Amino acid sequence: MSLSIIHPGLMTTLQDGGRYGRQKIGVIPSGAMDIYSLRMANILVGNDEYEAALEITLTGPTIEFTSDTLIAVAGGDFRPIIDGQAVPMLRPVAVKAGAILRFGPCRTGCRAYLAVSGGYDVPAVMGSRSTCLSAGFGGFEGRALKKGDVLPTREPGEYGQKMMYSLLSQGAHSFKQAKWRISQTHVTEERLRKPIRVMAGLQYDAFTDKARYDFFSTPYRVTTRSDRMGCRLEGAKLPLRAPLEMISEAAPFGTVQVPPDGSPIILMADHQTTAGYPVIAQVALVDTARVAQLRPGDQMDFRLISQAEAEQLYIEMEQCMENIRIAVAGML
């Protein structure tokens, strides 16, 4: 049971819920940029929701299935097709052996997740199957996929097997999708345009009044120098009132730091564990998934919320994920 990579796409890596627990020794968490899309894709195929899936970026791969496989695609819309037929997203799809799945360029969003029932069979490194690109370990040989790679997959669990046979028994030429789908997603043109909600950062008060005004009232554009480490923005420069003596400190996913050139950088999944630039804001975790879906050239606005509001949003999102999990389990 495996997937053959006919074309790797721009950057396709294995990512799971992240390699947490070792930031103390400098191990960057890595993991999915858009954690909620990863979790949805896994729930749909009966996996643990933090299981590793393929993270597909901007231009998608072409993949051949060597055996019947239950898959799900969530996140950005790459118009995936098999045999010229659109493969619908956010639902379980049973794919027959020999089928070739092609992802095109991304139409909405920036990243999609391809989960297979049972998960990808690569060794966990320090408790995670995420690819750590900078240090070259984890995932598939510690790197992005290349043409000719063969990714082994594990045996699906009970849910995956039952769902796959129930779909295939309805008769399929090369694939068959479930008639239902998850309807909640943050990856729509409309939702991606809504402001990114942030909390004040540790050094918020060290920025000039004008910087703080500009940050919340003028748009910022994602630059082409953005990657899995950081979303680098251009827009109004954000000067400090006076130079700050900074000592490196821990910085989590979503930290908006401002280097001396005044252009903010949002730290993303592959960020270093510690950072030394002034922090103007902290992106609410629920909105990091939307930042992950913005492409170079896209604009974003920021809106200030309190820490209590961000915590409430986080909890509501977890309750929403729990409801999705229960609903999907009931579909068998």
Partner 1 sequence: MDHAYTILPLGEAGLLVRFGSAIRPDIHRCVKALADQLDRHPFPGLIETVISYTSLAVYYDPFRVRQSGGPAKTASAFQSVSRFLKEEAIPLADTGTGAAARTVEIPVCYGGECGPDLPFVAEHCGLSEEEVIRIHTGPEYLVYMIGFCPGFPYLGGMDKRIATPRRQTPRLAIPARSIGIAGEQTGGYPFSTPGGWQIIGRTPEDLFRPDREDDPSLLHAGDIVRFRAITMEEYLAQRGDEA
Rounded to whole angstroms, the Cα distance separating 222 from 234 reads 7
Sketch the per residue contact string, 72 through 111, with partner 1: x for CB under 8 A, - otherwise.
----------------------------------------
Q: Is 151 in the site for partner 1 (CB under 8 A)?
A: no
Contact residue for partner 1 among 148, 158, 247, 297 (CB under 8 A):
247
181 exposure class (CB count in 10 Å sphere: 0-12, 13-18, 19+): middle
Distance CA(212)–CA(222), nearest Å, equals 19
By CB under 8 A, tell whether 273 contacts partner 1.
yes
DSSP calls for 143-191: S---TT-EEEBPPP-HHHHHHHHHHHTT--SSEEE-S------S-SHHH
Tell me: does residue 252 bind partner 1 (CB under 8 A): yes
Stretch that binds partner 1, among 147-155, 216-224, 231-239, 281-289 (CB under 8 A): 281-289
Backbone angles phi, psi at 215, to 5 degrees: -60, -35
Query: Which part of the chain contacts partner 1 (CB under 8 A), choosing from 49-57, 87-95, 211-219, 251-259?
Result: 251-259
48 touches partner 1 (CB under 8 A): no
For partner 1, the closer CB: 125 or 168: 125
- Asked if 314 is part of the footprint of partner 1 (rule: CB under 8 A), the reply reads yes
* Secondary structure of residue 268 in the 3-state scheme: coil
Taking residue 319's Cβ as centre, other Cβ atoms within 10 Å add up to: 10
CA distances from 121 to 1, 114, 129, 227 (A): 9, 14, 9, 26
| Interface with partner 1 (CB under 8 A), residue from 190, 209, 261, 308 | 308
- Nearest Cα to 310, choosing from 331, 279, 287? 287
20 binds partner 1 (CB under 8 A): yes
Stretch in the footprint of partner 1 (CB under 8 A) among 59-67, 146-154, 159-167, 248-256: 248-256
Whichever of 9 and 31 has its CB closer to partner 1, that residue is 31
Binding site for partner 1 (CB under 8 A): 20-28, 125-127, 132, 134-138, 199, 202, 247-252, 254-255, 272-274, 282-285, 307-308, 310-311, 313-315, 318
